Structure formats: C-alpha cells, structure tokens
C-alpha cells in the first residue's frame, strides 16, 4: 500500500489520536507495510515541529546485504535453481548449475533435499527431489527487511549471516507519543512575519518556524578565480615586489617581425613554419610600414650580413616573411617591442615582466596544450652579466619556494648564452625543469638602438606547470580548456606560492 509521506504522517498522527502512544515504530511500520526508515524520518520531522515526542531504544538488529536484498526479491539461490530445473533435470555441467549463484543453489538445494543427483545416466543430472518447496530463506529475508527478525531462530540468523545475506546493525525503534504541539495535521510554520499578518493581527496565533542560526547562508553568488589566475596573481606580486613593471600583453595577434625577426630568429628557422606557429589568413599581413624604416633596415642588415661582431645568417631577408601575422608563440615578442621603445625613448635601466597566453601549434599531451601562459622576466642595464642572470633567477625562484637551482646550457635563437633552469621540488621529491633563460643577443639589441654597454638578461617559464603542481592536477585538460569541470574552479583553495 504505497503511501505518500503526507498520508503516512496523517496515519501516524491519527493513530496517536485514536490508539494512543505508538509503543514500537517498527511494528507500526510493518503494520503500515512501509519501510521502518520512512517512519523514523516522519517521527523525527514531526518531533522537530513539536507534534510528537519519541524515545528511542537500541536493538541489535540485522539488515540485508545487497546480495540478501537480491534474494529477497528473486528468492534464495536454492529456490531459484529448484524453480528453473525442468522435470527431466539438468546435467551437472548445465549453465544453471555452473553460475556462481547456480553453484550455491545446487549445493543448498541438495543439502535441503529439494534436489538429488541422478547418476543413472552416463552424465550425472540434477533433478528435483520434491514437488514443492517453501523458501523460508526468502521469507526470513523479507521479515528482516521489515525489522521483524525476532521470531527467526538465532542459528538460522547466523546461517544467513554466514551466507552474507544479512549483516549486524544497531537499529533504533521509537516509542512515539503526542508532542507539546500535537495536532492531527501539521500546520506549516510561517517563515515570514508579513504585513498582512500584522494588519489582521493573525500573527498572534501564527506558529513561526524557529530561526536556525546554524543554517549556512546562501553561498554568496560571485565570481571565482580560476586557479591559473590565482597563481598568476602570486607571480605578479613577486615581480612587482621585485620592482618589475608589467608589459602590455593584450594583443594575441602579432607580426612575424616582432615575434621572430626583431629577436634575430632566422626566417628559415623551423619554428617559423606552420607546423609550429599559427599563421593568420585574415588579416594575413601586418604592413611593415608600422616599423620605422631605419630600424627595419638594421634588422634586415643583421640577418643578412650580421654586424655587432655577428656574421648574420647570410641569407636574403624578406619583408613579406616579416609581415606575416600569427598568434604570438611567446611573450618575448612583447619584450622586443618594449626594448625597442626603451631604446627609442633614451635608455634607462628597466625591469619588465609579462604573464599571458602564447600559442604553439604543438602536439597536445598530458602537460601541453596548443596554448599556455608564458611568464617572462626582463632586466636591462649597463654591464649585466650571466652572473646577474643566475643571481636574479635564484632570487625569483626562491620566492617560488624553489631555492635549489641547477642550470643547463641551452640554445635559443635570441639569447646567447642560454640556460635551461632546473629546481628540486620538495613536493615531487625530484629535480624538475622550471624554465629557460639567457642574455639577449647583440644582433637583437643593437639594431634597436640600445647602447653598446647595455645588456639584457631574461627568463621564461610557464604558468600551467606550477598551477598543476600546486593544485595537484595531473592532466592539463583538467586545468584549462573546454573539458574543465567548473566546480573545480568554484571550489579550488587559495594559492600560496613559495614562503
């Protein structure tokens, strides 16, 4: 007799009214043919509104395991096997007997003398021994699910437990009586004192819902910073605390001139073909006229013939190549623009940083996407050396909590010498690559007009790796991109970099 919570609630209250206290909520449940759990739920909620009172008694009880619940529905294994065996029986190799449930059913069926083994034929057959059975096991499981295990012999209960059909549970049943606010029907407690109540004075007999001061308020709807942006903020803090100013990186589309040529990256360099770089079709070209003619000629010159103690590449340098628009492959393109501006505006020592998206047409894997956030630091001053670079890298990475650094010679078209940076991560208990660095080549700086004695040291790293490490994210797709589950963005903790 399916019943809605309201119906069951009304029946419980009318029982209290008509028949007095309910001695055992378990009995009330089976009398109503409903699960005891539902009755307990209603008693608890009526109690919270004062309509009823209850005191619980703990009983050592049993509940069905999932397996037991299955047999309550379908019958015990032995009963199922007995039911499915045809009059002529089945050979012992029959699927009915060889499945996990079939094997149990056969052995129990034989033990209960419901079945017998007919060895008269070459291949033994299992046959019914009796014409009818009563599946006491199933009946017991039904009783137990209704909390009525009292009249099941302890030995049988122990056997059901051994057969992993039931398990011990502590069960509470309740003695239910009328409560201080008893009524045959729950009157919805008012949650608001309305003007209407005040005007009509009905608030006097109104029953107001108690304030639940422990209730968690509505989480303030608001924005959530993506972990990447939280870590970016930390990096920004470190740079600004070290006296660096942020470079304007809001233009993802760049011309090949500033992304490659200004950095003395040869026009034949493999990175300059579409395998590595996203070139634009519309607009395909950035008219080179935006580059001052004299500077352009100096760049052509150094690529073709060198100068500034460089041999150059000795290959023809084509304006058309330099005009190609692309999605910047590194924020070093912004550094080249800033350094040119610095040179043109009369050299002053400067410290710049950039943190923004760069795009590389590379194979996507667990730690690489076709776009990532590059972090770059640039220091330009008179007489800077590799020692200054190593020094500032130690300062910078110590702020990241990575004091132990190692440097490995590397190659970049625009820096010489260049170094890959490695650090020992306490978290990962291993040395990890944490970036790249170098001293910008004179072939890049001199054509810009920077004085002979000015050197520029620079380094770069990614934002994704540190964020993945700090937030324990293993696959970059879970951090960035259309597959990210937004709850991660909503629930990620604050970011504490380094100290």
- Residues forming the site for ligand FB9 (CB under 6 A): 332, 374, 376, 400, 402, 412, 415, 425, 432-438, 458-462, 465-466, 469-470
Q: At what angle do helices 77-84 and 136-145 cross, to 10 degrees?
A: 140
For ligand FB9, the closer CB: 341 or 496: 496
Least Cβ distance, residue 296 to ligand FB9 (angstroms): 23
Least Cβ distance, residue 284 to ligand FB9 (angstroms): 25
For ligand FB9, the closer CB: 200 or 366: 366
What is the spatial distance between Cα 370 and Cα 275, in angstroms, rounded to a whole number?
11
What is the spatial distance between Cα 334 and Cα 379, in angstroms, rounded to a whole number?
14
Least Cβ distance, residue 307 to ligand FB9 (angstroms): 22
For ligand FB9, the closer CB: 179 or 401: 401
What is the spatial distance between Cα 445 and Cα 338, in angstroms, rounded to a whole number?
11
Least Cβ distance, residue 391 to ligand FB9 (angstroms): 16
For residue 68 the two structure tokens come to 């037991």
Q: Give the phi and the psi of residue 405 in degrees, each rounded to 5.
A: -120, 150
For ligand FB9, the closer CB: 231 or 302: 231
Least Cβ distance, residue 445 to ligand FB9 (angstroms): 13
For ligand FB9, the closer CB: 53 or 398: 398
Pairing of strands 245-246, 350-359: parallel
Least Cβ distance, residue 306 to ligand FB9 (angstroms): 21
For ligand FB9, the closer CB: 186 or 399: 399
Q: Give the phi and the psi of residue 7 in degrees, each rounded to 5.
A: -65, -45
Least Cβ distance, residue 277 to ligand FB9 (angstroms): 13
For ligand FB9, the closer CB: 172 or 471: 471
Q: How many CA atoms lie within 13 A of 449 on its CB side?
A: 17
H helix or E strand, kind and range, residue 319: helix 319-323
Least Cβ distance, residue 208 to ligand FB9 (angstroms): 54
For ligand FB9, the closer CB: 82 or 459: 459
Q: Give the Cβ contact number of residue 45 at 10 Å.
A: 14
By beta-carbon distance, which residue lies closest to ligand FB9? 460
For residue 494 the two structure tokens come to 């604050």
Secondary structure string (H, E, C) spanning 50-100: CCEEEEEEEEEEEEECHHHHHHHHHCCHHHHHHHHCCCCCEECCCHHHHCH
Partners of 378 in the beta sheet? 352, 458
**How much of the chain is helix, strand and coil, in % rounded to 5?**
40, 25, 40
């Amino acid at each position: 007799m399916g019943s809605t919570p309201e119906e069951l609630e009304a029946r419980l209250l009318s029982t209290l009214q008509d028949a007095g206290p309910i001695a055992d909520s378990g009995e009330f449940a089976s009398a109503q043919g409903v699960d005891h759990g539902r009755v307990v739920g209603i008693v608890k909620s009526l109690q919270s509104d004062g309509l009823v009172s209850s005191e619980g008694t703990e009983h050592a009880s049993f509940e069905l395991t999932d397996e037991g619940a299955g047999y309550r529905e379908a019958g015990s294994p032995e009963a199922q096997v007995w039911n499915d065996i045809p009059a002529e029986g089945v050979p012992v190799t029959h699927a009915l007997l060889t499945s996990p449930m079939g094997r149990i059913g056969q052995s129990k069926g034989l033990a209960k003398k419901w079945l017998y083994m007919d060895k008269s034929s070459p291949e033994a057959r299992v046959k019914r021994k009796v014409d009818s059975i009563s599946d006491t096991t199933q009946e017991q499981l039904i009783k137990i699910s209704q909390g009525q295990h009292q009249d099941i012999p302890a030995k049988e209960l122990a056997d059901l437990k051994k057969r992993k059909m039931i398990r011990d549970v502590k069960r509470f049943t309740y003695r239910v009586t009328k409560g201080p606010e008893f009524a045959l029907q729950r009157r919805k407690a008012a949650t608001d004192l309305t003007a209407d109540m005040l005007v009509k004075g009905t608030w006097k007999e109104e029953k107001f819902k108690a304030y639940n001061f422990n209730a968690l308020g509505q989480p303030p709807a608001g924005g959530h910073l993506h972990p990447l942006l939280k870590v970016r903020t930390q990096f920004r803090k470190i740079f600004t605390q070290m006296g660096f100013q942020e470079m304007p990186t809001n233009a993802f589309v760049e011309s090949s001139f500033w992304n490659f040529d200004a950095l003395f990256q040869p026009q034949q360099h493999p990175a300059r073909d579409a395998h590595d770089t996203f070139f634009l079709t519309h607009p395909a070209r950035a008219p080179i006229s935006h580059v001052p003619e004299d500077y352009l000629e100096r760049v052509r010159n150094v690529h073709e013939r060198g100068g500034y103690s460089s041999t150059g590449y000795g290959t023809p340098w084509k304006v058309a190549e330099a005009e190609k628009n692309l999605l910047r492959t590194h924020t070093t393109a912004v550094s080249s623009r800033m350094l040119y501006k610095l040179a043109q505006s009369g050299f002053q020592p400067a410290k710049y940083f950039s943190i923004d998206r760069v795009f590389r047409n590379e194979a996507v894997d667990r730690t690489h996407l076709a776009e990532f956030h590059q972090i770059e630091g640039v220091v330009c001053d008179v007489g800077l050396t590799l020692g200054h670079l190593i020094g500032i890298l130690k300062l910078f990475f110590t702020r990241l909590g990575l004091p132990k650094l190692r440097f490995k010679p590397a190659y970049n078209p625009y820096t010489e010498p260049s170094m890959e940076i490695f650090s020992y991560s306490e978290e990962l208990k291993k040395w990890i690559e944490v970036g790249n660095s170098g001293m910008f080549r004179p072939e890049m700086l001199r054509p810009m007009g920077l004085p002979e004695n000015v050197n520029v040291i620079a380094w770069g790293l990614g934002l994704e790796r540190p964020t993945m490490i700090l937030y324990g994210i293993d696959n970059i797709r879970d951090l960035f991109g259309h597959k990210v589950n937004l709850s991660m963005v909503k629930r990620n903790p604050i970011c504490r970099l380094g100290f």
